[in-house]
Amino acid sequence: MKDARSALVEYISSEAVFHGDFVLTSGAKAKFYVDLRKVSLDHRVAPLIGEVMVDLISGIAGVSAVGGMTMGADPIATSIMHASLKTEHPLDAFVVRKQPKDHGRGRQVEGPDISGKRVVVVEDTSTTGGSPLAAIKAVEAAGAKVAAVAVVVDRNTGAKEAIEAAGYSYLAALGLEDLGLTK
If phi > 0 it is left, if psi is from -120 to 50 it is alpha, else beta; for residue 131 that is alpha
User: Is residue 5 included in any domain, yes or no?
Assistant: no
Asked if residue 141 belongs to a domain, the reply is: yes
CATH number, domain at 157?
Answer: 3.40.50.2020
Residue 68 confidence (pLDDT): 98
DSSP E strands, 82-133: 92-96, 109-110, 118-126
* Number of structural domains the chain divides into: 1
Is 145 a member of any domain? yes
Q: Which one-letter DSSP state was computed for residue 16?
A: T
Does some domain include residue 131? yes
The answer on pLDDT for 4 being more than 70 is: yes
pLDDT at 20 over 70: yes
Residue ranges making up the domain that contains 89? 49-179
26 located within any domain: no
Q: Is residue 22 part of a domain?
A: no
pLDDT at 29 over 90: no
* For the chain, percent of residues with pLDDT exceeding 70: 95
Residue 152: inside a domain: yes
Per residue, the 3-state secondary structure of 128-164, as one string, reads CCHHHHHHHHHHHHCCCEEEEEEEEEECCCCHHHHHH
Query: Tell me, what's the pLDDT at 28?
Result: 80
Specify the range with the lowest mean pLDDT, choosing from 115-124, 126-135, 141-150: 126-135
Asked if residue 135 belongs to a domain, the reply is: yes
Mean pLDDT of 118-125: 97
Report whether pLDDT(1) > 60: no
Q: What is the pLDDT of residues 75-98, one digit of tens each?
A: 999 999 999 999 999 999 999 998
pLDDT confidence of residue 61: 96
- Closest by alpha carbon to 10, among 177, 179, 181? 179
List of residues 6+ apart from 163 with CB closer than 8 A: 126, 129, 132, 133, 149, 169, 170
